[in-house]
Structure 1
Amino acid sequence: MTSTSSPAIGRSVDASGIQTNYHEAGSGFPVLMLHGSGVGVSGYANWRYTMPEIGRHFRAIAMDMVGFGYSACPPDAQYSLDYWVDHVIGFLDAMGIEQTHLLGNSFGGGLALAVTARHPQRVSRVVLMGSIGTEFTAPAAFNAGHGYEPAVERMRTLLKNFTFYPDSITDEAVQLRYQTSTRAGYQSTFEKLFPGSREQKMKAMITPDEQIKAIANEVLLIHGREDRVVPVETSERLFKLIPKSELHLFGQCGHWSHIDRAAHFNQLVLDFYGRP
């Protein structure tokens, strides 16, 4: 299930019976970083540039969710929002973390939202970047990985959906995610993660409005105006629902604001987490 040559393979911990791959940097109050759901994604692939910056001030931890990256893919797994929330809590328990900041990207944002709504005592402050988690009209690129068959140039084309600057997609980024997408058993697992239509995939990650309105944690919403994967209206809706929320929109920025606007993104997040 793994290739020892991949930098996406880090440490491993048993989280509620699931061997969970993770990376970390720095020390201090923890920031748990939750990746998106694109083909070949892992915690490392998603956050490899962000983690060192967050790690200068906090204990930055990027985990691979069950079914993704190099964490276990149990053959009997019933993938769902409930399952992934339980995995996050099991991971925090295994790491001895009572409370953490959360940083979630897309799928990881929807997951961070659900963890916060269900386990508010385990969460301090939350950053949601290009997040799902509420109803929205899914654009074509939302399902761009459907039917993916491993090929380097197909992976490159997929990754270009995530950025405002297609030329910024490096060979390293393509190879990193392509390598993950070709590991044994990956394709069959990926097909099980989000079965059904685009609308069914979206609804599988929804937290009900009443639960979102009840969130008392401070939440920073960040979105790229030119996001072709999750429309900016999604963060605008979450901003209206979450009482203690702030919204920052980047112009000339796609789904990956942590890449397209890296320096400003990192400073926003660090300032938000570091407030007294």
Structure 2
Amino acid sequence: MSSTELPAVPPTSVLPEAAAVRVAEGERLRSVGLPGVTLSVRSRPPARAGLPPALFIHGLGGSSQNWSQLMERLEGVVDGEAVDLPGFGDSPPPDDGDYSVTGHARAVIRYLDAAGRGPVHLFGNSLGGAVATRVAAVRPDLVRTLTLVSPALPELRVQRTAVPTVILGVPGIAGLLTRTTGKWTAEQRVRGVLALCYGDPGRVTPEAFEHAVEELERRLRLPYFWDAMARSARGIVNAYTLGGQHGLWRQAERVLAPTLLIYGGRDQLVGYRMAHKAARSFRHSRLLSMPDAGHVAMMEYPEAVAGAFRELLASADASGGGPVVPGAGS
């Protein structure tokens, strides 16, 4: 594993066209070379030495920046790192072009194996929740606890507002969207995303909105932006159709780690109704329902999510941390 430190971008600076992604005060970003993939990893120094490691995995179209607020609030609890999945954030596309849920999970496993940080407290949002579920199922030795925020697990009846994400996975649609939305400004796109992902978009500060626009403008300049989005969306759809031992719900039943499930009542992408199915499927689970939250509760209500994780951690510590079983490799 090779690692290269990336230059930090001051929070108040304007990103030049070729600059790296924004790095908040107190964070650092480094590039980690692994077989077949290079990952950008965001970290925040823990408040003290010896804290247990944690890894955060973002959702479709997101990046490690989605976890910055939560990581800051947990710096006294865990030694946190957030990864940019291949093709997102500051991570280039995977060498093999595999954007499936399994492909993303394989990249996470390779990083954890190479870093030697496991078992970790593993967090996942949306697509990252599906990826984290697969990692926890196939490599229980790498996962101490599992926290899933609106995980993208199969639904029999997809919400109407989630249909565009499903359509994005159809071959050829990405090129069509590139042509038909070419005149949309980054501001228009960001407002649309916030309306879809937040329970209350008004909670986004003007500074956070400006940062999101800058990041999207940077991403749109990347030649693989739409391909990564479309192939990852297709990966979610394909994962929904898998049955047997590879099905995500079957894998959820295999997870041994204590699990915190967080669902938002205003989530337009993952059905709130799936919360109780998830609570039944993960054997050692606790459920936090947040009626006012949307799809990214860790960004809307980071204090509440941090508090729920602390409770999970206290419970796991009291019971000995839950079972850890040797894994069989990626």
Shorter chain as denominator, the TM-score bin is 0.7 to 0.9
Does structure 1 conserve the Cα–Cα contact (< 8 Å) formed by 2:21 and 2:89?
A: no
Match of residue 44 from structure 2: 25
- Correspondence 1:1-276 to 2 at 5 A: 3-7=18-22, 10-27=29-46, 28-38=51-61, 41-44=62-65, 46-74=66-94, 76-144=96-164, 146=168, 147=177, 149=181, 151-152=185-186, 153-169=188-204, 170=206, 171-185=209-223, 186-195=225-234, 200=238, 202-203=240-241, 207-275=247-315, 276=317
Shift of residue 273 of structure 1?
2.4
Structure 1 counterpart SS, 2:234? coil
Paired AA for residue 181 in structure 1: R
Shift of residue 14 of structure 1?
1.2
Shift of residue 173 of structure 1?
4.4
Q: How many residues align?
A: 271
Does structure 2 conserve the Cα–Cα contact (< 8 Å) formed by 1:14 and 1:94?
A: no
Which deviates more from structure 2 when the two are superposed, residues 132-141 or residues 87-96? Answer: 132-141
Shift of residue 5 of structure 1?
4.9
Shift of residue 104 of structure 1?
0.6
Structure 1 counterpart SS, 2:261? strand
Q: C-alpha distance in 1, partners of 2:20/2:36?
A: 25
The structure that has the greater radius of gyration is 2
Shift of residue 204 of structure 1?
6.8
Structure 2 counterpart SS, 1:97? coil
Long gaps (5+) in structure 2 = 1-16, 169-176, 318-330
Paired AA for residue 30 in structure 1: P
Paired AA for residue 40 in structure 2: N
Shift of residue 132 of structure 1?
1.5
% identical aligned pairs: 23
Shift of residue 227 of structure 1?
0.9
Shift of residue 141 of structure 1?
2.7
Which deviates more from structure 2 when the two are superposed, residues 164-173 or residues 106-115? Answer: 164-173
Structure 2 counterpart SS, 1:22? strand
Structure 1 counterpart SS, 2:132? helix
Structure 2 counterpart SS, 1:49? helix
Q: C-alpha distance in 1, partners of 2:103/2:238?
A: 17
Does structure 2 conserve the Cα–Cα contact (< 8 Å) formed by 1:117 and 1:211?
A: yes
Which deviates more from structure 2 when the two are superposed, residues 118-127 or residues 4-13? Answer: 4-13
Does structure 2 conserve the Cα–Cα contact (< 8 Å) formed by 1:127 and 1:221?
A: yes
Which deviates more from structure 2 when the two are superposed, residues 101-110 or residues 182-191? Answer: 182-191
Long gaps (5+) in structure 1 = none
Paired AA for residue 48 in structure 1: S
Distance 1:75 1:87, change over 3 A: closer
Distance 1:125 1:271, change over 3 A: same
Paired AA for residue 291 in structure 2: G
| RMSD, matched Cα | 2.5
